[in-house]
Amino acid sequence: MPAPAVAAGSDREKIILETSQGRHEIMAEIARTDAEKARGLMFRRSIGGDQGMLFPYTRSQEIRMWMRNTYISLDMIFITGDGRVHRIERNTEPLSEEIIVSKGKAAAVLELKGGSAARFGLEPGDKIIHSFFKNAAAE
C-alpha cells in the first residue's frame, strides 16, 4: 500500500538553508520517532522542490542511511550539531540497498529531492537554520 503524502505523526516545519547563493526556505517533515526515521521517505513517488524530511538524532554520531523502498532520488545532507553542513550525498540511487554514511559525526540528516542541493548552491560548511540546531532564535 503506498504511503500517504505526509507520514502519520509527522509535522512540517520551516528550515532555512543559508548558502553562498542566499537563503532558501523549505518545509520539512520531522522524523522524530524511531518508526518515522525507519520509514523516512520510503514508498513516496514524488517530493516537491521546496520540501524535505529532517532526521534529528539525540547525539552526534556516524549516521547510516539507505534507499531501500525509496522510489525517488534524494540528496542527503549530513549536518553537525551546530547546524553546519558536514557532507552531501547527491542524487542517491532509488531502491538501492547501498549504505550511505555521514563519514564523521553528524546530529541530523536532511533529505531533499535529488538535485536540490546543487539548485540551492548548498555546500559543506553552509548553515542549516532550524530550532533543533538552536540557531533559529535570531530568525
Domain range holding 95? 12-133
Strand ranges in 1-132 using DSSP code E only, listed in sequence order: 12-19, 22-30, 51-65, 74-79, 85-89, 100-113, 127-129
Does 54 map to a domain? yes
Residue 5 lies in a domain: no
Q: How many domains does the chain have?
A: 1
CATH code at position 96: 2.60.120.1140
Residue 128 lies in a domain: yes
Residue-wise pLDDT for 61-85, tens only, equals 999 999 999 999 999 999 999 999 9
Instruction: Note whether 90 and 118 are within 8 A (CB).
Output: yes
In a domain, 42, yes or no: yes
d(CA 86, CA 94): 23
pLDDT given at position 84: 98
In 1-139, which ranges are continuous DSSP H helix?
34-39, 116-120
Could you say which residues of the chain have pLDDT below 50? 1-9, 138-139
Degrees, nearest 5: CA angle 72-78-81: 145
Percent of the chain exceeding pLDDT 90 equals 87
Is 35 inside a domain boundary? yes
User: What's the pLDDT score for residue 137?
Assistant: 58
Q: Does a structural domain hold residue 4?
A: no
Q: Is 84 strand, coil or helix?
A: strand
Q: Which residues, in sequence order, are CB contacts of 1 under 8 Å at separation 6+?
A: none
Q: Which cell numbers in the block locate residue 38?
A: 525507519
User: Cα–chain-centroid distance for residue 107?
Assistant: 11
Residue 7 lies in a domain: no
* 113: its cell numbers: 529531492
On whether residue 6 sits in a domain, the answer given is: no
CB 102 within 8 A of CB 87: yes
